[in-house]
Amino acid sequence: MISIEVEGLEALQQRLNSLGQAGVALPALLNAIGAEVESQTRRRITDEKAGPDGSAWEAWSDDYGKTRHGGQSLLEGQGDLVDSIGFEIDADGVHVGTNLVYGAIHQFGGEAVGKNIPARPFLGLSAENENDLLAILDQWANELANQ
């Protein structure tokens, strides 16, 4: 699985740490976060067609573009990549990614089958994604407080 460590989410991390120190079980929250990030990542591939920072992905080469039909996303040929996006939960938190080897080429760019492939990052969080996750955390904490 490709792994991207997201930094700069101090508000989210502080809230999780304080809840964790209080002995609160977090599996339901981690599942909700994983499902949301998985959904955000799939949407990035199918609809937004841009990196988490909002940068548009580099277009196909002219030769490769001739092999594609009109409705395909840059990273969505047969749908294998988008279908492979998933999440796992473990003691370290939530991990979202793909188990497809070529996912790393798309994320980071590189040489594949004799061709240079530009990076087209699809994993990561935008500012809006971060706000969505904070809203999930707040909702979860409010529900917990009302029990």
Supply the pLDDT for residue 16: 63
Radius of gyration of the chain (CA): 17
Q: Going residue by residue through the chain, which has 147 residues, state the pLDDT in tens, using 9 for 90 and above.
A: 444 455 566 766 666 666 655 555 578 888 999 999 999 999 998 888 899 999 998 887 777 777 776 666 667 666 688 999 999 998 778 999 999 988 998 899 988 777 888 999 999 999 999 999 999 988 887 877 676
Domain coordinates in residue numbering, the chain: 10-145
CA distance linking residue 32 with residue 14, whole number of Å: 18
pTM of the predicted protein model: 0.78
